[in-house]
Structure 1
Amino acid sequence: MRITNSNLEDIPEIFRLYRLATDFQKIKFPENQWPEFDSALITAEIVENRQFKLLIDGKMACIWAITFSDTQIWEHSENDASLYIHRIATNPEFRGNNFVQTIVDWSQNYARKQNKQFIRMDTCGKNERLINHYKNCGFNYLGIKKLSNTSELPAHYHHADVCFFEIVLG
């Protein structure tokens, strides 16, 4: 297992994994799925070294993105001392391996190297199973609310209930 930055050649596979994740969401969480993401967003994340992949035997098993600012989602709690995790998508061939825990472990080390004090994540919709999974991976569940301004966010945030999670680094 190896974690590394995604590269521009990975874009077709990244979008394939997003489509598969969205198909899975339609079955498991019919009230809320990811929209099709803008290729400019993914390209920017790759160029800025904020898109990551977990490789197993050379195959892309999981992807995610990070940012160091998230003002529209975290609104008044947005914080420069935070690492924000977005869009974890697992290759169906590798489901059930608890990659969220792997990402949490990786992000704690990464955030410390970047002098961050918090790891934060959000998810749309009140999915108790997912909330408990994130809590079991070390996140504190901070609650749920609707966002006041979603104009620059992907469509799945518009009118959605958003759950907030945080890890405080010691």
Structure 2
Amino acid sequence: MNFQIQNSNSYDTDEIFRLYKIATDFQKTRFTHHWPEFDRHLIETEILENRQWKIVSEGKIVCVWATTFDDPQIWEERNEEPAVYIHRIATNPDFRGQNLVSKIVEWAKIYAQENQKQFIRMDTVGDNSGLINYYTKCGFEFLGLLKLKNTEGLPAHYDNATVSLFQIDLNSK
């Protein structure tokens, strides 16, 4: 199957929200923390700033995620280090089991280097051993848990949350 990674565009917004809803509904069946309904303006801004991404295959959106180069409320003092942060990976259920996070990691390594970043970072809410194992198999180092101190302005699922932190250090490879 041929996969292409591209920036999302405004025509993708409804599909992005459909994938978020599917992911959130799945999270509700398994976990106490789940994604809230995201603000449409947030997604539209990410699209305009070329920070919302998609994997496409045969004209279908396979997977979406967002990136940023700044995440101080979650990464605190480590935010000063040059990193690309990956958020909200949501997969089209028709494409589950395709090892998409590994494809995102391979893309992110190039993207980080092109943008002079040393680290690829991700977080998840809670202590989910299944996700921890999966992300480490995809190349991330699990850095441990962090109780968030200041969640003002972050999506609701971060309120009073403990997060699992992950990173890939491109200089250690």
- Which runs of 5 or more structure 1 residues have no equivalent in the other structure? none
Match of 2:14 in 1: 12
Match of 1:86 in 2: 87
Supply the AA of the counterpart residue of 2:18.
Answer: R
* SS of corresponding position for 2:36: coil
Deviations 1:51-82 (Å, cap 9, x if unpaired)?
A: 00000111001000000000111112113510
Instruction: Normalising by structure 2, report the TM-score.
Output: 0.96
Q: Are the equivalent residues in 2 in contact too, given 1:68–1:80 (CA < 8 A)? A: no
Percent same amino acid at aligned positions? 57
Corresponding residue pairs, total: 169
Q: CA deviation at 1:12?
A: 0.5
Structure 1 position 127 matched with structure 2 position 120? no
The correspondence for 1:26, drawn from 13, 25, 28, is: 28
- Which runs of 5 or more structure 2 residues have no equivalent in the other structure? none
Deviations 1:97-138 (Å, cap 9, x if unpaired)?
A: 111111001000110011110000000011101001001111
Instruction: Normalising by structure 1, report the TM-score.
Output: 0.97
Runs of 4+ aligned residues of structure 1 deviating over 6 Å after TM superposition are none
Q: CA deviation at 1:149?
A: 0.2
What CA distance in whole angstroms lies between the structure 1 residues aligned with 2:116 and 2:79? 16
Larger displacement relative to structure 2 (71-80 or 49-58): 71-80
* SS of corresponding position for 1:112: helix
Q: Are the equivalent residues in 2 in contact too, given 1:37–1:154 (CA < 8 A)? A: yes
CA root-mean-square deviation: 0.8
Matches within 5 A, 1:35-54: 35-54=36-55
Q: CA deviation at 1:159?
A: 1.1
* SS of corresponding position for 1:78: helix
